[in-house]
Amino acid sequence: FYDIGEGICHQVLPEQGHAWPGAVIVGSDSHTPTHGAFGAFSAGIGRTEAAAVMATGKIWLRVPESVRIVVSGKLPERVSAKDLILHIIGDLRADGANYCSVEFAGETIREMSIAGRMVLTNMAAEMGAKNGVVEPDEKTRTWLKGRVTHEYEEIFADPDASYKRVIEYDVSNLVPQVAKPHTVDNVVPVTEAAGTVINQALVGTCTNGRLEDLAAAAEILRGKHIASSVRLLVLPASREILLQAIEQGYVRDLVTAGATLLNPGCGPCLGAHEGCMAPAEATISTANRNFKGRMGSKEAFIYLASPATVAASALAGVITDPREV
């Protein structure tokens, strides 16, 4: 049990040692695949099925086919894991990996932080995946040290594993990406959305509410102030992250720049509270979905982007390429 204010389940679970390599995790939320970043099999299920799992400790699952996504190259400045996954979803489309186990591999993934890997597995659901997974390595073990106190068995792909598809991406020339309304796979380079007027900007959620995300936004906004026409909301994914952001000065930078700090949780991402959209309003968000009505009015417009792009856009009052700030 985690009380109010602890944060979003997909962040709190690994923080509290409930996700580890080789674990089988199911939850009644579509972004449960997040925990695949730690080498777990983690998938979303329905509420009735979740109740059955709690009652019996068992579940029947059809073994998914595997899709391997191999990523090479170094991410350019102010281009992040969020831009990568938006680019992949835009390429493969919303049904590009239906009921598949999506493996993220390659030198770029190995160099990526745990927070970045969590962005990829979190949004695997947006291409129809049953789960997303990254093979565990020393970064995984270091992150979990002191959190997971029992032994676990790391799982890796077999050398002769059979894949439905193997897809390769080179991110060396990747640019910031934006998913336009009203589908996550409606992805364009930020230059094609630049100049779009926004009313609200959101940095946070279970996708991009981690410390490095708040740091990226703070780096852009430090010593500046957001446009008077924009509401900037900052939503840490957990209390632990909020406290770290306070200690490192990111909260001061963001609030001084005009941001409103929200309690750790889901909040406006699913249109619950603290930032619901009014008709005809436009928001740019680091969340994972931009469907009609997702953040309030069905007549509102949601654009998805990285923390850097969201921060740059809040500064200008229009969607802005963070490389130009």
Indicate if the pLDDT at residue 272 is higher than 80: no
My answer on whether 30 and 48 are in the same domain is: yes
Boundaries of domain holding 306? 179-324
Q: How does residue 317 score in pLDDT terms, banded at 50, 70 and 90?
A: very high
My answer on whether 139 and 198 are in the same domain is: no
My answer on whether 184 and 243 are in the same domain is: yes
Report the mean per-residue pLDDT for the chain. 96
My answer on whether 103 and 214 are in the same domain is: no
pLDDT tens per residue, range 21-37 = 999 999 999 999 999 99
pLDDT of residue 267: 83
SS3 193: helix
My answer on whether 109 and 258 are in the same domain is: no
My answer on whether 76 and 214 are in the same domain is: no
Handedness of CA 155, 112, 93, 45 (dihedral sign): positive
Residue 304 lies in a domain: yes
My answer on whether 162 and 210 are in the same domain is: no
My answer on whether 153 and 225 are in the same domain is: no
Report d(CA 42, CA 55) in Å as an integer. Answer: 19
My answer on whether 16 and 136 are in the same domain is: yes
Q: In the chain, what's the furthest Cα-to-Cα distance? A: 57
pLDDT of residue 293: 83
My answer on whether 164 and 219 are in the same domain is: no
Token reading at 86? 């938006």
pLDDT tens per residue, range 191-236 = 999 999 999 999 999 999 999 999 999 999 999 999 999 999 999 9
Residue where a domain terminates, one of 170, 205, 225: 170
For residue 161, give the nearest of 67, 82, 262, 232 by alpha carbon: 67
- Percentage above 70 pLDDT, the chain: 100
My answer on whether 74 and 219 are in the same domain is: no
Q: How does residue 43 score in pLDDT terms, banded at 50, 70 and 90?
A: very high
- Among the ranges given (4-13, 191-200, 208-217, 267-276), the one the predictor scored with the smallest mean pLDDT: 267-276
Say how many domains are in the chain. 2
For residue 263, give the nearest of 308, 30, 272, 218 by alpha carbon: 272
Report d(CA 266, CA 180) in Å as an integer. Answer: 21
My answer on whether 242 and 207 are in the same domain is: yes
pLDDT of residue 273: 79
Residue where a domain terminates, one of 129, 153, 170: 170
Residue 53 lies in a domain: yes
Indicate if the pLDDT at residue 13 is higher than 80: yes
For 180, residues 6+ apart whose C-beta sits below 8 A from its C-beta are 186, 187, 188, 193, 290, 303
Residue 38 lies in a domain: yes
**What's the pTM value of the predicted model, to 2 decimals?**
0.95
Burial 77-92 (b: 16+ CB within 10 A, else e): ebbbbbbbbbbbbbeb
Residue where a domain terminates, one of 129, 151, 170: 170
The CATH number for 218's domain is 3.30.499.10
For residue 67, give the nearest of 135, 160, 159, 133 by alpha carbon: 133
